[in-house]
Structure 1
């Protein structure tokens, strides 16, 4: 049993070609079918980055999460939106990616770590939807999401990226097997991220938010972040509640309007010129964006 029209978007997705229609498929999947799940999965994905010591050390050193956390959170989502809302190869997307490259150009980040961070942005939401979504993702959706992810990486100047979801999953698993380790920086970043989540969450959810966030983490991630183990009954209750939500959503009517992130940092709207670390804004906006790839 399911609500009338519940699978209309899926029927539409299956009629499309992920090689050509990847932007439309991603829009339907992320903004209509699984908007909340996509945001949660992306949030956990960001925290995986902290388990890789060089990434954690860099992010901790910038103090962006500690000092300007909500702006950093909003900007990350908004650059992703700028890159995808009109399509990954639209002028709007290319402008956003040029800006992202100029921000990254201030830091010494290896191509392997960049590729890993990119992999988390696809694996995080997919794993979340596999665990808690109201239906499984279709192979057409996975192919389209991988296509957009790879193009995003190419526009960042990355080479030899995977072409499939399974390729990104293998990249992530391998990188974590070789590099995941606990550092004090990882714990500071994780606690700062949880504080950001509390700040943007509805007040009734705030008291339990830290424990719930830890409860949905896999053990390697929790250990890398140095966060306290939660009681088994609590972990079971949280995950069971999320699965129940997914089952109940089968009976909900399909979403009629696209989900769009509403940033608390910019209540009256934002421009691309607003996005980026405060300390860099003058420099970023002083010259028209010109390429500017990261250093591999």
Structure 2
């Protein structure tokens, strides 16, 4: 197999009818490391919206149980990628996602924004640091995949195209990124988690490296001191060099899914998809989306979020 054989395969597929299959090839074969980093950054960005950051702090999921929350989020999202929306595993994952979100007071605008980060941040990361840029087929397939996820979650007014997702993300961040003490605590806990994956003496270096990859809007929202221009340049150059090195390697022949990532620490003996995720926290409740009729089996708030 040549380096671009799989890209040629993707370009022969229909990015609308085979969206999740194309997305799976991109995530599990072409860019597994890059998608992991980009989706970490996607979720991290959401903390800078005070409403999201405060809720996460109140539930303590990302301050007291940071590793578990990281593991469960990664595993639930990747279950859908690995097995598809129509599979038993995929339906179970969607049901758990909806059961979690219906327990808290999350606005539909915030839900839509989080969905936008899943579409936009991987493209931006891969175009900047990947071994090649994402093809148009991959961009469209990713957009369709997350539009499908958004419909299963009952999210309203989902953008149609990648460009609309990008515009929605940029405008929402411009309007809502702001300082919040609780959100900063969630951010600090996440940075500590990332540093914990490596030997202790490297922790300060890893924190500086992570901050160097953040844009000014995030640094300002969390009130972090911006890294020096030299630090930023060296860190970003190093990540780009990694991408160039990957380009010289033979193509991956076996898929790599999130459950195989070394960062997933909480389930050394395996897990059940139905057991993943959070359970309601007393005193922190509400419904992320409003619908006409309740339907607990569907896993959404009032029946709009279907589980498959």
The reply to whether TM is greater than 0.5 is yes
Hey, what does 1:158 align to over in structure 2? 155
Write out per-residue CA displacement over residues 210-235 of structure 1, whole angstroms, 9 at most, x where no aligned residue: 11111000100111122221111111
1:277 match:
278
Match of 1:260 among 241, 257, 260: 257
Residue 293 of structure 1 is matched in structure 2 by 300
Match of 2:285 in 1: none
Q: How does 1:45-194 map to 2 (within 5 A)?
A: 45-194=42-191
Confirm whether residue 213 of structure 1 aligns to residue 210 of structure 2. Answer: yes
Aligned 8 A contact 1:88 1:148 in 2: no
Unpaired segments ≥5 residues, structure 2: 282-295
- Give 2:20's aligned residue: 23
State the alpha-carbon separation in 2 of the partners of residues 205 and 255 from structure 1.
29
Q: Structure 1 residue 88: deviation in Å?
A: 2.5
Inter-partner Cα distance in structure 1 for 2:207 and 2:36: 17
Aligned-residue offset at 1:202: 5.9
Structure 1 residue 205, shift from structure 2 partner: 4.9
TM-score scaled by structure 2? 0.88
Deviation at 1:6, TM superposition (A): 0.7
Give yes or no for the alignment of 1:249 onto 2:271: no
Match of 2:251, SS? Answer: coil
Cα distance in 1 between the residues matched to 2:143 and 2:238: 29
Task: Within 5 Å, give how 1:193-208 maps onto structure 2.
Answer: 193-201=190-198, 205-208=202-205
- How big is the shift at 1:20? 1.2
In structure 1, the partner of 2:292 is none
> Normalising by structure 1, what TM-score?
0.91
String of CA shifts for 1:111-132, please: whole Å, max 9, x gaps.
1100001111121211110110
Distance 1:115 1:237, change over 3 A: same
Query: 1 CA distance for matches of 2:62 and 2:168?
Result: 26
CA distance in 1, matches of 2:99, 2:44: 23
Q: Which is richer in helix?
A: 1
User: What stretches of structure 1 of length at least 5 have no aligned partner?
Assistant: 281-288
The SS at the match of 2:298 is coil
Deviation at 1:186, TM superposition (A): 2.1
The CA RMSD over aligned residues, in Å, is 1.9
Partner of 1:9: 6
Q: What is the CA-CA distance between 1:293 and the residue it aligns to?
A: 1.6
For 1:123 and 1:202, the matched residues in 2 are separated by 32
- Taking the aligned partners of 1:87 and 1:292, their CA distance within structure 2 comes to 18
